[in-house]
Structures are given as C-alpha cells and as structure tokens.
Amino acid sequence: MRLQYTYPVALGLGLALAGTATAQETWRFGLEEIEGSVQYEYAAEFAELVNEKTDGDVNVQLFPYGELGGLTDIYDAVQAGAIQLAFGSGFLGGTVPESQLFSLNFILPQDEWVTTRKLNSDTFIESDAWQNSFRDRGLVPLAIVPEGFQVWTFNEPIRTPEDMEGVQIRVMDNLLLRETYRAYGAQPTSIEYGELYSALQQGQAEGNIQPVFAHEEMGFYEVQDYMVFANQAQFIATVMANQDWYEGLPDTYREVIDETTDELVRYIHDVQQELNNERLDTITSESDIEIIRLSNEERAAFEELAQPVRQVFVDEVGERGQELLDLIDQLFEEDRM
Ligand code: 6CS
C-alpha cells in the first residue's frame, strides 16, 4: 500500500524551501484501518489540527492498515517508539490485556454519544486503572474512539444462540471474544483483518463481526448473506502514544495533543454515525443481503449467556479488571436499557 496522507513538506530532511512552511518534526500515526475508515478520518483531522496549532512545525504522517504489517506490528512499533501514535482495539489484548474490557458484550449503553462522552471523561480515561493498563506497557491512552455498533454477518439467518450453534465466526484475536462467542455456542476463529475477505469467501469463516462501515469498505458484505443487528457491543478503539516520547515532549506540544483529542470527541462521534449510516445504504443498495434486527427478547438470550464472561475477564486480568468493570458499571448505571 502506498502512503496515503502526508503534508507536502520536506520530511525530516532538514530542507528549508524558500517561502514554504517546513515541518520541524514528524509524528507517525499507525492505523488499524484503511483510508476512508473512522480511524483514518480521526487521524486526518488530528493531523490537520496539530499542523495548524503548531504553525506548521509538526507534520503528522498517517500509516493506514497494511503499511506497517499486520495489526500487532502496529502495537510493537508504537511500543518500540518507531512510530509515536497508534490506534489499538480488538487485537491489542496481547499487549494491553485490560483493553479486552471492550470485548465484553452488553456492558455499554445503547446511546452512542453517551458512551463516547463518558468514556472520554476524566472519570474513565484519566482513571488510574485505565492509564496504568497502558503505562505499564510503555504506552499512554490519549482518547477513546467508539466506531459504531458491532454488527454480525452470516451465511444463514441467525436470531438465537441455537441458530449460532457450531457456526465458525471470525473474531479479533483476543481471549474474551473467543470466550464470548463460545458462550453463544459458536466456534470462534481468529483471522488477521487483511486475510478475512478471502477466508469468508472460501468458507474458512462463516460469520463476521464489524461496524457497518468496515463491512462495506473491506467488501465483507459481498461474501455474506445476512446482517444481524443485536446491539451487543460497540467497536471501541483507543488512541495511544509511546510513553517516553509523550512525556519527553515540550509542554506546548503535549497541550496541543490534549486540546486536539478533546476537540475530536464530538467530531468523530458525528463522523462515525454518518459513515455507518451512509455505508449501510450502500450495502443495501448494492447487494441482496438481508437485514435482521433482533427484538429485545432475542437480545436477552445472548445477554444472559454473556454474563459469566465478565468473570473470565477478571480472572484473566486480575484486580485491575474488576476495578475497570466496576468503573464501567458506575459510569453507565443510569444509561443502560
Ligand atoms: O476486525 C478487525 O480486525 C478490525 N476491524 C475494524 C473495524 N477495525 C480494526 C480491527 O482490527
């Protein structure tokens, strides 16, 4: 894949072009998704704002999915300081086990804006539990980006755990997702994002879980027949920085980052909703895929099976896992339906 997004500046070469703003430094930002995705839209706006706020001194260079290798290569790169910023989500469990919190189903409210706002409030993102989960691994969490509801697709109409029995469903690579889908009766299998289209096409996986925009932009919907909205989970990603780099920045640059990530909370919520709505229209107009929306009663059957997986999270992650779960329960106590 070619580099998708750069400012026209003399990158790190020390060249001063007469009459042209020259970036003094470049921050590299690794994305788990391709151009046009929610993560790309976030990072592109971040890049523009940072460049403006630093009067052109900082150039943020985006590396969309595929340019740095696979998903875990992105996390290795930000931990090692080869890149300064990155998104982390479902595959991050091997690096930051506590991040699997958001792989649990039925822990967040149905209101996506409430979710976005509260996860980015000091109560959650600045909590010791969330900060130290990342800082213990040389990372700093800067923002949380909900990207829309996780939507199932299958080759068969699936409405109940009985329907899901034995279905080979692809999950991102983390224990909590595998446990959740085992609890539903499915046979979860983890496959790298870039290999998923052909795995679905060739029948190595019979089901998939993505926000709508990703089903569309990766073409997954073309090789599936049913799209099932169960509203069991939202896709949650964290923007992270290399800790040594972040802490070593001049205060003014750290303030620019903090101000920018604050500004982007509302921005990316609006963008993700728009992208997911538009892409659902594209999917329904360009394919015969059948849309199924589970009733509250149908959802409840999955919710009941998901409950014991909370304990698996605590057993896996320890005391901090319990702390994070308690925090989420308190934060959204009034918002759950
Ligand atoms: O399913 C995946 O692997 C990827 N899906 C999305 C929407 N973002 C990143 C994630 O790794």
pLDDT tens per residue, range 233-280: 999 999 999 999 999 999 999 999 999 999 999 999 999 999 999 999
What's 13-323's CATH class? alpha beta
- Out of 32, 34, 95, 191, give the residue to mutate to test ligand 1, the one with the largest number of ligand atoms within 8 Å of its CB: 32
Q: Kindly give the distance from the C-alpha atom of residue 32 to the centroid of ligand 1, in angstroms, as a whole number.
A: 6
284 CA distance to ligand 1 middle (Å): 21
Please state, in angstroms and rounded to a whole number, the distance separating the CA atoms of residues 66 and 71: 8
Which residue, judged by its Cα, is nearest atom 2 of ligand 1? 193
Q: What is the pTM of this model?
A: 0.93
Q: Is 227 in the pocket of ligand 1 (CB under 6 A)?
A: no
Ligand 1 center from residue 171 Cα (angstroms) = 9
| The pLDDT value given to residue 161 | 98
Beta strand 85-88 pairing with 207-210:
unpaired
User: Where are any strands of DSSP class E within the chain?
Assistant: 25-30, 58-63, 85-88, 139-149, 151-154, 168-171, 187-190, 207-210, 226-229, 234-242, 290-293
pLDDT in tens, 291-325: 999 999 999 999 999 999 999 999 999 999 999 99
